[in-house]
């Protein structure tokens, strides 16, 4: 993994976590997309076999610390999401834009479902259905994320020509 790629990945995660934790009003809060999970999905799609599974684990642990949830909750959810992406990478890459959006939305829905199940199991307050609104906005935001990151990859890393 080249160091320029590592730098771009680090930068993308920093921006994503800033966007995810940016304080917004209570009405908007449920619509904030799962930026970090989307970035994980993107890198799992692009890097495919070079994607290290320790990455979603570490990022997930950071999310746990930031959110104050039990250690491992987000890490496990991100791990399973990236597993699904790595398993179905070919189909996902080949899918059209709309189909890709739907699939990403479903992935984020699954991610949120895992999180809420873990929260339910440890006996914390269960979320209501509005919590899942974020998967809709995540699906809508996905094409823009992939365009921006594809573009920065092409300019900054030259990943596609390698």
Partner 1 sequence: MLFRHATGLGLRVLCLSVFMMGLMVADHHYRYVNNVRNVLSVVLIPLQYALNAPIQAIDWVKMSAATQHQLTTENIHLKQQILLMQVSLQQLINMQQENSQLRALLKSSSRINGQFQEAKLLAMNLEAASAEVVLDKGSRDGVEIGQVVIDVSGVMGQIMDVTPFTSRLLLITDPRSGVPVEDDRSNFQAIVMGTGANMPLSLIHVAETSDVKVGDLLLTSGLGARYPEGYPVGTVSRITKMSGEPFLSIAVEPSALLEQSRRVLIVSHYLNDDSKKMLYEATTVPMKPAVAGGTQ
- Rounded least distance, CB 96 to partner 1, Å: 26
**C-alpha span between 4 and 156 (Å, rounded):** 7
Q: Is 14 in the site for partner 1 (CB under 8 A)?
A: yes
Q: Is 131 in the site for partner 1 (CB under 8 A)?
A: yes
- Rounded least distance, CB 9 to partner 1, Å: 16
**C-alpha span between 15 and 8 (Å, rounded):** 11
Instruction: State phi, psi for 155 to the nearest 5 degrees.
Output: -80, -40
**28-47 positions binding partner 1, by CB under 8 A:** 29, 32
Binding string, residues 89-118; x marks residues near partner 1 by CB under 8 A: --------------------------x--x
Q: Is 15 in the site for partner 1 (CB under 8 A)?
A: no
Q: Is 69 in the site for partner 1 (CB under 8 A)?
A: yes
The helix, strand and coil proportions of the chain, stated in percent and rounded to the nearest 5, come to 80, 0, 20
Give the N- to C-terminal CA distance of the chain in Å, as an integer: 11
Nearer to partner 1, 99 or 124 (CB): 124
Q: Which has the closest alpha carbon to 42: 91, 98, 102, 86? A: 86
- Candidate residues 127, 140, 141, 159; the one interacting with partner 1 per rule CB under 8 A: 127
Contacts of 5 (CB under 8 A, 6+ apart): 157, 159
Structure tokens at 29: 């809060």
Binding stretches for partner 1 (CB under 8 A): 14, 17-18, 20-24, 26, 29, 32, 53-54, 57, 60-62, 65-73, 75-76, 79-80, 83, 86-87, 115, 118-119, 122, 124-127, 131
């Amino acid at each position: 993994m080249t160091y320029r790629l590592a730098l771009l990945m680090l930068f993308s995660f920093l921006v994503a976590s800033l966007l995810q934790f940016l304080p917004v009003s209570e009405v908007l809060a449920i619509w904030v997309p799962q930026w970090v999970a989307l970035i994980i999905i993107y890198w799992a799609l692009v890097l495919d076999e070079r994607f290290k599974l320790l990455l979603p684990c570490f990022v997930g642990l950071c999310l746990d610390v930031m959110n104050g949830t039990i250690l491992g909750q987000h890490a496990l959810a991100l791990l399973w999401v990236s597993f699904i992406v790595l398993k179905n990478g070919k189909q996902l890459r080949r899918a059209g834009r709309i189909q890709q959006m739907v699939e990403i939305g479903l992935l984020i829905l699954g991610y949120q479902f895992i999180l809420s199940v873990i929260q339910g199991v440890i006996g914390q307050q269960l979320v209501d259905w509005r919590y899942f609104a974020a998967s809709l906005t995540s699906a809508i935001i996905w094409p823009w994320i992939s365009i921006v990151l594809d573009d920065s990859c092409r300019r900054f890393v030259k990943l596609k020509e390698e």
